Amino acid sequence: MSWISKTFSSSIGRKIIMALTGLFLCSFLVVHLIGNLQLFKDDGGAAFNIYSHFMGTNPLIRTLEWGLVLGFGFHIYEALILTRRNQAARGIGYVESRPSQNSSWQSRNMGLLGTIILVFLLVHLYNFFWRARFGDLDPDINNNDDLYTLVVSSFHQWWYVLLYVLAQVALCYHLIHGFRSAFQTVGLNHRKYTPAIKIFGYVFSVVVCAGFAAMPLYFYFFK
Amino acid sequence: MAGSNPNAKPMNLTLKVWRQKNRAAAGQVVDYNVRDISPDMSFLEMLDVLNEDLLRKGDDPVAFDHDCREGICGSCNLFINGRAHGPESGTTTCQLHMRKFSDGDTIVIEPWRANSFPVNKDLSVDRSAFDRIIQAGGYVSVNTGGAPDGNEIPIPKEIADRAFEAATCIGCGACVAACKNASAMLFVSAKVSQLALLPQGHVERATRVENMVAQMDIEGFGACTNIGSCAAECPVGISLENIALLNREFLTAKASSNNLS
Amino acid sequence: MILDSKIPEGPLAEKWEKHKFNVKLVNPANKRKYDVIVVGTGLAGGAAAASLAELGYNVKAFTYHDSPRRAHSIAAQGGINAAKNYQNDGDSVFRLFYDTIKGGDYRAREANVYRLAQVSVNIIDQCVAQGVPFAREYGGLLANRSFGGAQVSRTFYARGQTGQQLLLGAYSALSRQIAYGKVKMYTRSEMLDVVIVDGQARGIITRNLITGEIEKHAAHAVVLATGGYGNVFYLSTNAMYCNATAAWRAHKKGAYFANPCFTQIHPTCIPVSGDYQSKLTLMSESLRNDGRVWVPKTVEMAERVRQGQIKPQDIAEDDRDYFLERKYPAFGNLVPRDVASRNAKQMCDEGRGVGSTGLAVYLDFSEIIKRTGAEAVSQKYGNLFAMYEKITDEDPYKQPMRIYPAVHYTMGGLWVDYNLQTTVPGLYATGECNFSDHGANRLGASALMQGLADGYFVIPYTIGDYLAQTPPKPVSTDDAAFATAEADVRGRVQKLMSINGTRTPDDFHKHLGNLMWEYCGMARTAEGLKFAKAEIQKLRREFWSDLKLTGSNDELNQALEKAGRVADFIELGELMVDDALARNESCGGHFREEYQTPEGEALRDDENFAYVAAWQYTGDNQPEILNKEPLQFENVKLTQRSYK
């Protein structure tokens, strides 16, 4: 085995992949959130559709999209490998275990949170991404595909809004642990900076997820 | 349950103890009652009382590891009421005192659980995996004799203190026991940090971290997911900063060492 | 048999150098043809096993622990002495030598002690090179403190965990040799006999503590590094597993046992709290650097404290008796351990003891806390204070600690010559297991020094001298002596298992401990010792007729392990009493009430007792023979120790 595959198949190596892909996906969340803020523009969806048209056709974005797929792919793949390995490390469990007294709930349930996010992601991709890319959306006034109308109609279904909001809560907890955890994993833990990283991670998680959750709630209740 | 007991009244307790004949046998939880336990007793002295009772009755006493009973040898290793070394933080089992419990309590006592720590008997487990990790590189390769004067290399006090703090690991395995993933990262990081911080350890730092992590993986410990229960349950307070340092050492070594395999 | 200590000729300061030159060397190519067994992997054993393997010998190391890192050396708190004179305060090899001889009340061998002081400096260098994180000054150089009875700062330390750090250093060196395959490590293996072939130690018999298997191991030489026998007293600061079995088995195979009555009672331990007590916890002697020892001035006041009517912090300065400062103005609270212990006992005997049992004195930090602040005190003693609070539920920052003396160390042990060889050729004893360096009382921070000196710097030279005279032929366990020894061990285990009486091993052990503490503890009388001897003999008969065990031999059976150790403690206890009875003087830790100065200090009799008492085993239930090795003092003048 070469040193590269050895490095990234070791327990720490896999963790580093988790951390780096996680941080990369965080950056995607920021871009995605900023773009989607177009939804709040009161122009009948014109700006949002221009944006989504750009995202769906720009060659650079289309290339980066593959990076995103890989990012998700590795993040999920490594998570599966590590989870199996970690479960195997303790064959017989405890009769009595009180982990809540030594650690946070989200830190112990990243797999569960990740699974919720994954389910959401599949629904979300099918509903918006798939139909925007391969579906037959009607054109809007600028002759762009009218994704906006699809979004608005989706966000008027209670079960969809509920799923969306729940997923954002899960994502928020996932990020609260994941963000600072990623820094720890790549070796960045310093008594000077770590407190700031923790606070930033917390604020980041809440703001990003609140931003995403605000969209379905806004349309469901106010539009 | 937590908090000290002001009136030193003797207690009666119900113990649920893991009993297992040997490594191959299946085990189960067995209930015992102990009476007239003084709050000033240590947890292990309470078990001594149980064992004397069992022996007198002709029953097999409960096997458990212990030795110095002052919290430094790292022998004792009981998972008490769902916590490594019991309900009091920063404490080994031998330094846990019965005043942390109340009359009528039920106490569940289990061995460390990790595939890398097989049960010898009852509550005694085999932690030789830790020794093998140290053998993989947890040392400075100096032979006896020929060492330069101790004051030859000045070491900043702050660095020496941090190295000392990492070096205080007692190798009890509570980190593995408490970790959801049965990961040994805190243990490994304590030794790697100590020697990475000190100039004496710099010569071999790359091979050390590569070999120790490889051995850790071979032993079958889980991977760290930064839960932090290890540091929270560590009786000597080894900090998570050491794990970050271990990760950093590992990355640096992998990126820069001449080791191609 | 004439005891030949093999002390080299020549001036004191040159003996070791000369000896190192004169010892025979083993050809480097031949070293791998020799096997050495090291029993015990604490400071002495771990250091010896690692160093011998580095030289090229094949080492088999044995410990009854699950890992070499658990040896009781790990619990030493205070520090390790070395004559580095880094502090420019007048220390030197000769001063360390002199202090050790004087502290030992002139009952140690000059040549051994001088060598110890000489190699002390190498120990520090070696440990620093291994990565032992000693305390440092802000300038980056090694820090020192003064410690228990020394007037210079020569003690190197790692907060209150010096023993741990030094042991982990030796353990790391040992681990490295295990990885190289030069040391074969046997954990959870208890040595139960030495095998002698043609008058030479050629192997050991062990019991695998997990499977009960009795195993035979052969080698060209055997090194015992199995620690002291303080657990004869049941309650001591020793770890629970510490035992005398290896040394006692060796004694029964011909190794003389020297000065068994020299036991050290440490003055600063946490007092006994109840009869369930399983062991006692030491509070490092370094605490006496800043803590002040006192009791109430009057019996009435002490009584009120015992009843809980008044708190110690409420007692006015004038009503306190800082008895060590009063009686020993020059040394104050830093008098040697035996003196501090005896004085604490005296205060309690007078009825001025404190705590609910009246068997405690105060160690008070209020002054230093006032002077330097709680933060500074915590920096120095934080872990000790925390440990004290955990055990007693009392906060030493707010009220004085209660302390009482407890058995801590045994200066006696297997008799060894200058080469650390016992009276059995090929059988060596190192560290606390031997008797050699501390005389009748050990100074603080000297145990770690001796263990590492023996292991790193003495045995690697002296064992070569023996091996060079042994043909490098492979050894095997085929000799009949192995079969006999193995059968003996099996028979003994079977016998223990088959008594089927009513009393547990712990029960016998506690009984023995009470007798020893009462009659062979801090103060001894001929009458008490004679009584104790008879009682111990009775106890021994009861043990072999009324012991209760369960389970079987072929499993992890901790009660069986304990029973074997208690059986040996009982026999050793009797020898300690014999020795104490034969030594009609007081010296160091051995205080015979009949022999004291008018002020109550130990009164030595150098004319008649300046010798090492080396006891020779003659057979089961036979009286042992006392052999005497006269001690010659050519470089120090014998004086009455005075710390006034």
Predicted confidence pLDDT, tens digits, chain A (223 residues): 688 999 999 999 999 999 999 999 999 999 999 999 999 998 989 999 999 999 989 999 999 999 999 999 999 999 999 999 999 999 999 999 999 999 999 999 999 999 999 999 999 999 999 988 887 888 888 888 899 999 999 999 999 999 999 999 999 999 999 999 999 999 999 989 999 999 999 999 999 999 999 999 999 999 8
Q: What is the interface size between B and C, counted as CB pairs within 8 Å?
A: 221
Taking the C-alpha atoms of residue C524 and residue C58, their distance in angstroms, rounded to an integer, is 46
- The reply to whether C614 touches chain B by the CB within 8 Å rule is no
The model's confidence at residue C338, banded by pLDDT at 50, 70 and 90, is confident
Strand partners, C429: C224
User: Which chain A residue lies closest to B226 (C-alpha atoms)?
Assistant: A181
Tokens standing for residue C364: 């008070």
Neighbours of chain A (3+ CB pairs under 8 A): B
**Which residue in B18, B116, B214 is closest to A10 by CB distance?**
B214
Long-range contacts of range C91-94, CB-CB < 8 Å, 24 or more positions apart? C91/C152, C91/C153, C91/C154, C93/C13, C93/C117, C93/C118, C93/C120, C93/C121, C94/C13
Q: How far is B69 from chain A (nearest CA, A)?
A: 24
Can you tell me the mean pLDDT for C441-448? 93
**Which residue in A3, A82, A103 is closest to B228 by CB distance?**
A103
CA B182 to each of CA A93, B113, B115, B117, B212: distance values in angstroms, whole numbers, following the listed order? 10, 8, 8, 10, 17
**Which residue in A96, A107, A180 is closest to B81 by CB distance?**
A96
Top-tier CATH class for B128-256:
mainly alpha
User: Which chain B residue lies closest to C54 (C-alpha atoms)?
Assistant: B143
Taking the C-alpha atoms of residue C91 and residue C89, their distance in angstroms, rounded to an integer, is 6
Q: How many CB atoms within 10 Å of residue C535?
A: 19
Q: How far is B169 from chain C (nearest CA, A)?
A: 9
- A91 to chain B: which residues are within 8 Å by CB? 113, 115
Q: Which of C64, C119, C172 to mutate to test the interface with B (most CBs of B within 10 A)?
A: C172
C352 annotated active-site:
no
- B153 to chain C: which residues are within 8 Å by CB? 128
- In this predicted structure, the answer to whether residue B2 has a pLDDT above a threshold of 50 is no
Neighbours of chain C (3+ CB pairs under 8 A): B
C559 with B147: Cβ contact below 8 A: no
**Which residue in B18, B87, B213 is closest to A12 by CB distance?**
B213
The full set of domain ranges for chain C reads 266-408, 481-608
A94 with B79: Cβ contact below 8 A: yes
Using CA of residue C436, residue C441, residue C447, residue C450, what is the dihedral sign? negative
- In this predicted structure, the answer to whether residue B248 has a pLDDT above a threshold of 80 is yes
167-206 of C, contacting B, C-beta below 8 A: 168, 171-173, 175-176, 178-179, 185, 187
Segment C189-217, tens digit of pLDDT: 999 999 999 999 999 999 999 999 999 99
Q: How far is A214 from chain B (nearest CA, A)?
A: 30
Candidate CATH numbers 3.40.50.970, 3.10.20.30, 3.90.1150.10, 3.40.30.10; the one for domain B11-121: 3.10.20.30
112-141 of B, contacting A, C-beta below 8 A: 113-116
Which listed residue (C115, C154, C337, C604) is catalytic? C337
Are both B11-121 and B128-256 of the same fold?
no
- The reply to whether C47 touches chain B by the CB within 8 Å rule is yes
The model's confidence at residue B69, banded by pLDDT at 50, 70 and 90, is very high
pLDDT computed for residue C149 by the predictor = 66
**Which residue in B71, B121, B156 is closest to C140 by CB distance?**
B156
Contact (CB, 8 A) for C581 and C593: no
B247 with A185: Cβ contact below 8 A: yes
Using CA of residue A116, residue A118, residue A121, residue A122, what is the dihedral sign? negative
Segment C166-179, tens digit of pLDDT: 999 999 999 999 99
- Which ipTM value was assigned to this complex? 0.96
Q: Quote the Cα angle for B77-B83-B88, to 5°.
A: 90
- In this predicted structure, the answer to whether residue B3 has a pLDDT above a threshold of 60 is no
The model's confidence at residue C56, banded by pLDDT at 50, 70 and 90, is very high
pLDDT computed for residue B240 by the predictor = 96
496-525 of C, contacting B, C-beta below 8 A: 502, 504, 506-507
* Three-state helix/strand/coil letters over chain B: CCCCCCCCCCEEEEEEEEECCCCCCCCEEEEEEEEEECCCCEHHHHHHHHHHHHHHCCCCCCCCCCCCCCCCCCCCCEEECCEECCCCCCCCHHHCEHHHCCCCCEEEEEECCCCCCCEEECCEECCHHHHHHHHCCCCCCCCCCCCCCCCCCCCCHHHHHHHHHHHCCCCCCHHHHHCCCCECHHHHHHHHHHHHHCHHHHCCHHHHHHHHHHHHHHCCCECCCCCCHHHHHCCCCCCCHHHHHHHHHHHHHHHHCCCCC
- In this predicted structure, the answer to whether residue C642 has a pLDDT above a threshold of 80 is no
pLDDT computed for residue B6 by the predictor = 42
pLDDT computed for residue C59 by the predictor = 98
C69 with B120: Cβ contact below 8 A: no
B67 with C65: Cβ contact below 8 A: yes
Report the mean per-residue pLDDT for chain C: 95
Q: How far is B212 from chain C (nearest CA, A)?
A: 12
Can you tell me the mean pLDDT for C346-371? 94
The full set of domain ranges for chain B reads 11-121, 128-256
Contact (CB, 8 A) for C148 and C141: no
- The reply to whether C65 touches chain B by the CB within 8 Å rule is yes
Q: Quote the Cα angle for B239-C126-B173, to 5°.
A: 30
User: Which chain C residue lies closest to B88 (C-alpha atoms)?
Assistant: C390
B149 with C68: Cβ contact below 8 A: no
**Which residue in C274, C390, C550 is closest to B59 by CB distance?**
C550
pLDDT computed for residue C150 by the predictor = 81
Taking the C-alpha atoms of residue A149 and residue C401, their distance in angstroms, rounded to an integer, is 78
- In this predicted structure, the answer to whether residue B1 has a pLDDT above a threshold of 60 is no
Nearest to C562 by CA among C544, C549, C581: C549
Segment B213-227, tens digit of pLDDT: 999 999 999 999 999
pLDDT computed for residue B4 by the predictor = 36
Q: Which of C74, C120, C183, C508 to mutate to test the interface with B (most CBs of B within 10 A)?
A: C74
User: Which chain B residue lies closest to C42 (C-alpha atoms)?
Assistant: B73
C72 with B68: Cβ contact below 8 A: yes
What residue has token string 């007693």? Answer: C392
pLDDT computed for residue B194 by the predictor = 98
Query: Can you tell me whether residue C615 is helix, strand or coil?
Result: strand
- The reply to whether C129 touches chain B by the CB within 8 Å rule is yes
> Considering the domain C266-408, what is its CATH architecture?
Alpha-Beta Complex (3.90)
pLDDT computed for residue B234 by the predictor = 98
The model's confidence at residue C248, banded by pLDDT at 50, 70 and 90, is very high
Strand partners, B37: B11
A96 with B243: Cβ contact below 8 A: no
Q: Rounded to 10 degrees, what is the CA torsion of C493, C494, C496, C500?
A: 160
Domain C481-608 grouped into CATH 3.40.640.10: no
* C496: Cβ contacts below 8 Å, ≥ 6 apart: C547, C549, C560, C563, C564, C567
Residue C61, H or E segment: strand C58-62
- The reply to whether B235 touches chain C by the CB within 8 Å rule is no
DSSP C391-446: HHS--TTTSPEEEEEEEEEE--EE---TTSB-SSTTEEE-GGGB--SSTTSPPTT-
Segment B91-142, tens digit of pLDDT: 999 999 999 999 999 999 999 999 999 999 999 999 999 999 999 999 999 9
C181 or C287, which is more confident: C181
Q: Which of C130, C157, C457 to mutate to test the interface with B (most CBs of B within 10 A)?
A: C130
A11 with B246: Cβ contact below 8 A: no
Can you tell me the mean pLDDT for C592-600? 91
CA C584 to each of CA C104, C414, C606, C627, C628: distance values in angstroms, whole numbers, following the listed order? 17, 21, 11, 16, 14
pLDDT computed for residue A1 by the predictor = 64
- In this predicted structure, the answer to whether residue C423 has a pLDDT above a threshold of 70 is yes
